[in-house]
Chains A and B, each alone.
Chain A
Amino acid sequence: MDLSFTDEERAFREEARRFFRTEIPQSIRDKVAEGEGLTRDDMITSQRILNARGWATVNWPVQWGGQDWSPVQIYLYQDEMQQANVPTPIGFNVTMVGPVIAQFGNDAQKRQFLPKTANADIFWCQGFSEPGSGSDLASLRTRAERKGDTYVINGQKIWTTLAQYADWIFCLVRTDPAAKKQEGISFILVDMKTPGITARPIVTIDGGREVNEVFFDNVEVPAENLVGQENKGWDYAKFLLGNERTGIARVGASKAKVARIKELASMERVGDTPLIDNPRFREKLAAVEVELKALEMTQLRVVADERKREKGRPNPASSILKLKGSAIQQQLTELVMEVVGPYALPYQRDFDGRNEATIGPDYATEAAPMYFNYRKVSIYGGSNEIQRNIVAKAILGL
Chain B
Amino acid sequence: MDFDLTDEQRLLKDSVERLIADHYTFVQRKKYLAEPAGWSAAVWNQYAELGLLGLPFEEKLGGFGGGAVETMIVMEAFGHGLVLEPYFATVILGGGLLRRAGSDALRAALVPRIITGKLQLAFAHVERQSRYDLADVATSARKDADSYVLDGAKSVVLHGDCADTLLVTARVAGGRRDRGGVGLFLVDADAAGVTRRGYPTQDGLRAAEVSLAGVRVAADAVLSDNALPAIEHVVDEAIAALCAEAVGTMQAMHETTLEYLKTRQQFGRPIGSFQVLQHRSVDMLVALEQARSMAMFAAVMAAEENAAERRRAIAAAKVQIGRSGKHIGQEAIQLHGGIGMTMEYKVGHYFKRMTMIDMLFGDADAHLATLARLGGLFGNTKAA
Contact = CB atoms under 8 A, between A and B. Distances in A.
A and B interact physically:
yes
Contact of A345 (B128, B156, B333, B342): B156
Interface residues of B, number: 43
Contacts of A70: none
Nearest to B127: A342
Interface string B249-279: 0000000000000000111000000001100
A276 to B, nearest CB: 14
Contacts of A304: none
Nearest to B128: A360
Q: Is the interface of A mostly helix, strand, loop or mixed?
A: mixed
Interface in B110-150: 126, 128-129, 131-133, 136
A392 to B, nearest CB: 10
Contacts of A139: 266-267
B150 to A, nearest CB: 21
Given A280-B369, A368-B355, A372-B348, A205 B156 contact: no
A129 interface: yes
Interface in A117-173: 129, 132-136, 139, 158-159
A135 B348 contact: no
Best-buried of B155, B340, B351, B359 by chain A (most CB within 10 Å):
B359
B161 to A, nearest CB: 11
Contacts of A360: 128, 155-156
Interface in B317-342: 326, 330, 333-334, 337-338, 340-342
B14 interface: no
B59 interface: no
B156 A204 contact: no
Given A341-B359, A384-B334, A347 B340 contact: no
Interface stretch (B17-25, B78-86, B201-209, B294-302): B201-209
Contacts of A136: 266-267
Nearest to B369: A280
Interface stretch (A102-110, A232-240, A288-296, A374-382): A374-382
Interface residue tally on A, bucketed by range: 35 or more
A375 B333 contact: yes
Nearest to B364: A338
A172 B80 CA distance: 40
A36 interface: no
A353 interface: no
Interface string A200-228: 00111101000000000000000000000
A378 B131 contact: no
Best-buried of B136, B197, B266, B277 by chain A (most CB within 10 Å):
B266
B355 A202 contact: no
A297 interface: no
Interface in A335-381: 337-338, 341-348, 359-360, 368-369, 371-372, 375-376, 378-380
B197 A359 contact: yes
B177 interface: yes
A383 B340 CA distance: 13
B342 A202 contact: yes
A301 interface: no
Given A344-B202, A360-B128, A375 B365 contact: no
Given A136-B267, A359-B209, A270 B131 contact: yes
A271 interface: yes
Interface string A306-345: 0000000000000000000000000000100110011111
B236 interface: no
B366 to A, nearest CB: 9
Nearest to A207: B343
Given A139-B266, A347-B199, A372-B352, A379 B338 contact: yes
Contacts of B65: none
B220 interface: no
Given A134-B266, A342-B155, A378 B352 contact: no
Contacts of B352: 205, 368, 372
10 contacts: A132-B265, A158-B338, A203-B342, A341-B359, A342-B359, A346-B207, A368-B202, A368-B355, A375-B341, A385-B277
Interface of B: 126, 128-129, 131-133, 136, 155-156, 177, 197, 199-202, 207, 209, 265-267, 276-277, 326, 330, 333-334, 337-338, 340-344, 348-349, 351-352, 355-356, 359, 363, 365, 369
